[in-house]
Structure 1
Amino acid sequence: MSKRILIVLSERGYWGEELVGPVEAFDARGYRVTFATANGARARALPPSLDPEYIDPPLGRSVTTRDMARRAAELDASARLDNPLSLSELIPERPYYSSLNHLRELEAYHRDLARAAGDLVASFDGLVLVGGSGPIVDMANNERLHELVLAFAAADRPILAECYGVAVLAFARDLETRASILWGKHVTGHPKEYDYKDGTGFLGADFNFGPPPYPLEYILRDATGPDGAFHGNVGRETSVIVDFPFITARSTPDSVPAGELMVEVLESGLRRYGW
């Protein structure tokens, strides 16, 4: 039976190559891919990610080849991304502690969550969190997505996170302990050197957001704790870390090897790579 992969995309814009890399690796193996977004809206690629002439300010060069721009544009325009699953419809929302009947509502929430998360974990062999600037808005602090990540991790299902999608892992926490599931793990992600100083963009925003609202590297260094580590690998062309069940990818050029490594994790039992 072919593997089944759930890919979560931002409704505020994903980076084209960071979707192409994993999807092409999965397609080559005959995997079945399903897409999801926060509220079921169709995801769209960030325009700079489809433009081979766009110069990435931190790197001072284009990060998208003409061939990759074409492949990303074709996937972005395809019907494959139509009608994604809605996390807001699939996964219940934790009640406010100020609700009038909080105890009963919390009990119902945990029952519904166990059923919903269990159904999703049973339906998919792996989870992918695609990067870009959009995840800063609707994925990083999405409690429903956190619960999905916690469920996949508890079931020992691999989770691939790219670029700012790695922030989801840092913030996915059991509310009893408040410790990140990355505690003691080795990860990579967007390093400080790669962050924009100005012009971070989101679909649907008509103003200059400036730099990213948080430095992901610092969050990941804190989330992994003294027994884990953040690996920026600045100066190296690619950076992908496997510390099972997590596969983390730094940025755009890491999406192709990240997809290939996810396949290796699923088919060959790879549990450690890159550190």
Structure 2
Amino acid sequence: MPSALFVVSEEGYWGEECVEPLTTLDEAGFDITVATPSGSPPVVDERSIDPDTVGEETAERVREVHENDERLNDPVPIATVDAADYDAVVLPGGHGTEWDVNQDRHARKLVADAVSGDEGKALILCHAVGILGFTHTEEGKYVVSERDVTGFPNEWEEEIVDENDRMPDGRKLPYWVEDEVKAAGGNWDAELDSDTSVTVDGDLITGRGPESSRAAAETLLEELGIEAPAK
């Protein structure tokens, strides 16, 4: 049975970016483990379960999984897991990742280990792609250096934060994903003219945002040689 480790934010994950890959991999027969920085249950970004923001159907689906999935309700601490034990490491996005997952040394090691060997893949979505701006190989090189990558673009961030980089809830955004990934040597292209954006470079798969979540999960299955479940 294939296995996947989901690394989910306690500061606010974007619902669809977790639920779409989670259910897609579930339907494909994966054994799934959920981890958070401290081992406490992840927190969903309220905007991602707001019907006025994401629509009634998505809001209801995300809320149902968030509240009732046993793995999300009883995660393990990131420090206790090893990427080598899983076929894939999945990092859903959401602004909250900037305050915990992306800054967590154990999460960074999971990503570095997942993309460094001959086995295993890393799927990283949206704001979680920012972790690549802080993750190094054992040789000290940025993992994302010279890799093709997509993620949450500056153009979209400009529509969310104010002139002082404050979020609608008042928190100050510590960095912008696109800027950090570019500074780390990544070849950035968020494909803003496309409805979805998923990029594969070796064992690293990145997705731009919520609308790319399903496509990103299916791409992960394809890269692992596993047939995607019927829609």
Which residue is 2:74 aligned to? 83
Partner secondary structure for residue 5 of structure 1: strand
Deviation at 1:258, TM superposition (A): 0.6
Checking the alignment, whether the CA contact within 8 Å between 1:186 and 1:224 is kept in structure 2 is no
Which residue is 1:155 aligned to? 117
Separation in 1 of the partners of 2:38 and 2:105? 13
Q: Residue 200 of structure 1 aligns to which amino acid in structure 2?
A: M
Pair 1:28 & 2:27 matched: yes
CA RMSD of aligned residues (A): 1.9
Pair 1:5 & 2:4 matched: yes
Checking the alignment, whether the CA contact within 8 Å between 2:130 and 2:178 is kept in structure 1 is no
Q: Residue 235 of structure 1 aligns to which amino acid in structure 2?
A: D
Deviation at 1:147, TM superposition (A): 1.4
Partner secondary structure for residue 53 of structure 1: helix
Which residue is 1:197 aligned to? 161
Which residue is 1:114 aligned to? none
Q: 1:235 aligns with which of 174, 186, 193?
A: 193
Checking the alignment, whether the CA contact within 8 Å between 1:121 and 1:155 is kept in structure 2 is no
Q: 1:173 aligns with which of 126, 136, 152?
A: 136
Separation in 2 of the partners of 1:39 and 1:84? 9
Unmatched 5+ stretches in structure 2: none
Deviation at 1:175, TM superposition (A): 6.3
Show the 5 A alignment for 1:1-275. 2-54=1-53, 64-78=54-68, 79-88=70-79, 90=80, 120-156=82-118, 157-174=120-137, 176-177=139-140, 179-195=141-157, 196-198=160-162, 200=167, 208-210=170-172, 212-225=173-186, 229-267=187-225
Q: Residue 220 of structure 1 aligns to which amino acid in structure 2?
A: V
Unmatched 5+ stretches in structure 1: 55-63, 92-119, 202-206, 270-275
In the TM superposition, what whole-angstrom CA distance separates every residue of 1:156-197 from its partner, at most 9, and x where no partner exists?
3110000111111221113653x2111111000111111022
The alignment-based identity, stated in percent, is: 31
Separation in 2 of the partners of 1:213 and 1:44? 19
Deviation at 1:23, TM superposition (A): 0.9
Separation in 2 of the partners of 1:243 and 1:260? 15
Partner secondary structure for residue 124 of structure 2: strand
Separation in 1 of the partners of 2:225 and 2:156? 32
